[in-house]
Amino acid sequence: MAALPRLVCVSSVVLVVWAGFCSAVCVEVPSETEAVQGTHMKLLCISCMKREEVTASTVVEWFYRPEGGKDEPIYEYRKTNHEFPSRFSGRLQWNGSKDMQDVSITVLNVTLNDSGIYTCNITREFEFEIHRPLFTSSRLIHLTVVEEAGEDFTSVISEIMMYILLVFLTLWLLIEMVYCYRKVSKAEEAAQENATDYLAIPSENKENCAVPVEE
């Protein structure tokens, strides 16, 4: 029992170290491309920094292009947040991180007219003494807004597998119950037959069947 608190303590330390390691890791995950009308949609834009880029100043520009239209600026981060007048006025929210690796925005109360191509431009300027090199990157998000959420294929397959497993377990349980019932029934029949045979033996033979006791 003394080993249990020690094991819990070691597990807690491992979890803390692992959490600290994971928090320091940056992964460039692509954004979702489908939103449901009336919900909030986070346009994910992640640009991981290298070690030498940490001291760079970051500028973020968001553009929107409707189907068959041109790019129009909708949001900008240049030390402060700035929202351009557009169809999204009052519906854009900064959702980035303090280290400026996650520079995402959220579109509030998405409408069907919000479908289109969103562009996220990231510009980083290094502040060296001799020169100031620039690093630029872009992310394109093809967003489609639907009226109702469709069923996810993965969730459908998982649900089907769950029902199949449930049916299999039910059948297995029934088979085990029948097997156990038959086994118990046979044991009871055998015990009853032995008892009947014993009762059918004459009393004289029963006395002879007794095991003699050695002195």
Give the CATH number of the domain where residue 71 resides: 2.60.40.10
Evaluate if pTM is beyond 0.85.
no
Q: Confirm whether 18 is domain-assigned.
A: no
Total count of domains within the chain: 1
Q: Confirm whether 66 is domain-assigned.
A: yes
Query: What is the residue-level pLDDT of the chain in tens, covering all 215 positions?
Result: 444 444 434 344 333 334 343 445 678 788 889 999 999 999 999 988 776 555 778 999 999 999 889 999 999 999 899 999 999 999 999 999 888 889 999 999 999 999 999 999 999 887 777 777 888 999 999 999 999 876 665 767 877 888 898 888 899 889 989 889 888 888 888 878 777 766 666 655 555 555 555 54
Q: Confirm whether 106 is domain-assigned.
A: yes
- The residue segments making up the domain with residue 72 are 27-151
Among candidate residues 112, 49, 45, the one with its CA nearest the CA of residue 77: 45
d(CA 184, CA 195): 16
Residue 189 has what pLDDT? 81
DSSP 145-205: EESSPPPPHHHHHHHHHHHHHHHHHHHHHHHHHHHHHHHHHHHHHHHHHHHHHHHHS-HHH
